[in-house]
Amino acid sequence: MSRTLLRGARVVTMAPDRPDAEHVDILVDGDRIAAVDPSIEAPDAEAVDFRGRILIPGLVNAHLHTWQTALRSVGADWTLMEYLTRLHGGIAGHYTPADLRVGTLAGALNQLDCGTTTLGDWCHNALSAEHADAAVEGLAQAGIRAVFLHGTPYRAPEVPHPLAEIDRLLDGPVRDHALLTLGMAVQGPQYSSAETAVADVRAGTERGLVVSTHQSGGEPAPGWDALRAAGLFGPLTNIVHGAGLPDDWISALVEAGATFTTTPENELGQGHGTPVTGSLLRLGAAPSLGTDIDIAVPGKLLTAARIALAHQRSLDHARHRHTTGTHAGTPSVTARQALAWATVEGARALGLADRVGRIEVGLQADLVAVDARAFNLWPAHDPVATVLHADIANIEAVMVAGVWRKRDHTLLASGLDEVKEQLRESGDRLLRTVR
C-alpha cells in the first residue's frame, strides 16, 4: 500500500476535540488517515511539502443533480415553476443513457475541481435501468466518492418507487465500486400519496439506505403524518430544502434524528422559500449543504456555505435590531459553523459520518489543499475564514481515498477535452428537443 506524508500545512481537522487550525503532519496509508501529529517520521512515505497551504477535510456536497450538467446556465433566470415546467415537464424525457453518463461524469469532475470529494447525487431522471447504469458509470469514471440517490421522473402520487431497480443496483452496479453507495431519491410525503410515501420510506429503511426527499413550500401534506405515525423518520431520513415546514415539524424531525440539506443560492433565487438554517440552529441542529442544479447556479459548495452564512446572519441581525433597537454586538453564526455544514454535516446527511467529513485517524483520506499563498487569500490570518473565502483557483490539490484527483491546480483526469465536447453535444441536442 502507498503511504503519503503531508507536511508543513496548517490543518483544519473539523474534529470536535482539536483546535480550529493547527500545524500538524498527516500520514496517509493506503486509503486511510494513519496519523495526525505535530511531527511524523515516515521515511518510507512520499513526502509532500504543503507549506503556505491549508488542509481541510474533503467538502461534502449533499445535494446535486449532476444529470443536468449539460444544461448549465440555461435556467439562470428561471423561477422554480419555470424549472419544473421546462426541464421536468419537457427536456428530461428526452435524455438518453449517454446524456446521463456524460452529465454525471462532467458534474462529478467539476465537484472534484472545486474541492468536493463526496457527493450526494440526486438522480431523479433514471428513465430506465440503462439510464441508472450510465449515471453510475459516470460517477465511477470520475473517481469521486458518492451516494447515488436513485430516483425517477415525477410520476403519479400512487406509483411506488421501483424497488426492483434498487435491489438490482445493490446487487451489482453500485456494489462493484468501492467509492459508491446507494440511496433512494423518493417523491416522498409531499408529492406521493400517504400509502406510497410510507411504502417507499419503509423499503429504504429496511435496506439500510439513506432516503432523501424534496420539500419546498406549502404546508406538509398528509403523507408527513402517515410517516410519523409509522415511526419511519430517523437518521436515514434526509429532507432537502425543507422550506415551508413549520417549526414544530422541524423540531419533531430533528428529535427523530433526520437530517436537512439546504441549497441556499438556488432556494433564494428560484423561490423555494426561506432556508431552514435558522430553525435548525435554534434547535441545536445544523444543515448540510448542496448546490442543487448547475442549470441555475454554479456548483461551488464554498459559495453555498458563504451564502448560507451571510443569509442567516442577515436574518439574525434584522431580528436583533427589531427586538432591541440596536445592532448586534457579536455574530450569531461563525465561519467554523459554516465550514462544518460543508463537511461534518454533509457526511452525516449521507450516512457517511464514520468515513469522511473530518481529518481523524482511521477515517478515509479525503483531503483538500487550499493554496493560501494566492493573492486573493494572502495573508491568511484566520485559516477557517480563508478556506470559506477560497475559490476554485485556490483549490490546489484534492485527494479521495488516498488517491490524488487534483494536483498543482490541475485535474488528474484523462480525456477532458473529449468530455467537454460530449457535454456540449448533449446539451445542444437536448435543447433542440424543446425549441
pLDDT along the chain (435 residues), means of 10: 94 96 98 97 96 98 98 96 94 97 98 98 97 98 98 94 96 91 96 96 97 89 96 98 94 98 96 95 98 97 98 94 91 96 98 98 98 98 98 98 98 97 98 86
In a shared domain, residues 168 and 41: no
Q: Is residue 267 part of a domain?
A: yes
In a shared domain, residues 139 and 216: yes
> Could you give the number of structural domains in the chain?
2
Q: Is residue 427 part of a domain?
A: no
In a shared domain, residues 262 and 377: no
Q: Is residue 354 part of a domain?
A: no
Domain of 52, in residue numbers: 3-57+361-409
pLDDT of residue 216: 87
Of 309, 341, 373, which residue constitutes the final position of a domain? 341
Q: What is the dihedral of CA 60, 61, 63, 64, to 10 degrees?
A: -140
In a shared domain, residues 133 and 279: yes
Q: Which residues contact 147 (CB under 8 A, 6 or more apart)?
A: 118, 119, 120, 121, 180, 181, 182, 183, 210, 350, 351, 352
Q: Which three cell numbers stand for residue 211?
A: 432516503
In a shared domain, residues 172 and 294: yes
pLDDT of residue 1: 64
Q: Which residues contact 67 (CB under 8 A, 6 or more apart)?
A: 95, 99, 100, 103, 104, 107, 123, 125, 135
Q: Is residue 356 part of a domain?
A: no
Q: Is residue 352 part of a domain?
A: no
In a shared domain, residues 14 and 72: no
Q: Is residue 347 part of a domain?
A: no
CATH number for 397: 2.30.40.10
pLDDT of residue 218: 76
In a shared domain, residues 136 and 47: no
Q: Say whether 368 sits in a helix, a strand or coil.
A: strand
In a shared domain, residues 140 and 255: yes
In a shared domain, residues 94 and 19: no
Q: Is residue 420 part of a domain?
A: no
Q: Are 370 and 394 in contact (CB under 8 A)?
A: yes
In a shared domain, residues 191 and 278: yes
In a shared domain, residues 184 and 142: yes
Q: Is residue 428 part of a domain?
A: no
In this prediction the pTM is: 0.97
Q: Are 36 and 360 in contact (CB under 8 A)?
A: yes
In a shared domain, residues 69 and 13: no
> In angstroms, how far is CA 12 from the centroid of its own chain?
19
